């Protein structure tokens, strides 16, 4: 699983951090950054991505096929 962050879309909602705090965090600008891409299981990471109101987190499989959104 690969995680791509679209920082320009991030509005600092923080739902990703609430769901997967070991994977995502907000930086000093309030924008999402990747803390540890293996900090949670794949389902938790997917749930965090789906919780983002602006779809600022994209999930790809290992062959670069987009899984979400």
Q: Which domains does the chain have, with CATH numbers?
A: 2-63 (3.30.70.20)
**pLDDT one-digit tens code per residue, 30-69:** 999 999 999 999 999 999 999 999 999 999 999 999 999 9
Closest by Cα among 18, 3, 55 to 26: 18
Task: Give the pLDDT score at 26.
Answer: 97
The pair phi, psi for residue 4, each rounded to 5°, is: -120, 130
What pTM, to 2 d.p., does this model score? 0.93
Task: Give the pLDDT score at 39.
Answer: 97
User: What is residue 49's DSSP assignment?
Assistant: H
Task: Give the pLDDT score at 9.
Answer: 97
């Amino acid at each position: 699983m690969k995680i791509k962050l679209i920082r320009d879309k991030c509005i600092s909602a923080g739902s990703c951090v609430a769901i997967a705090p070991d994977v995502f965090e907000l930086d000093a600008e309030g924008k999402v950054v990747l803390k540890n891409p293996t900090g949670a299981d794949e389902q938790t990471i997917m749930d965090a991505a789906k919780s983002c109101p602006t779809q600022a987190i994209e999930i790809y499989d290992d062959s670069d096929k987009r899984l979400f959104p």
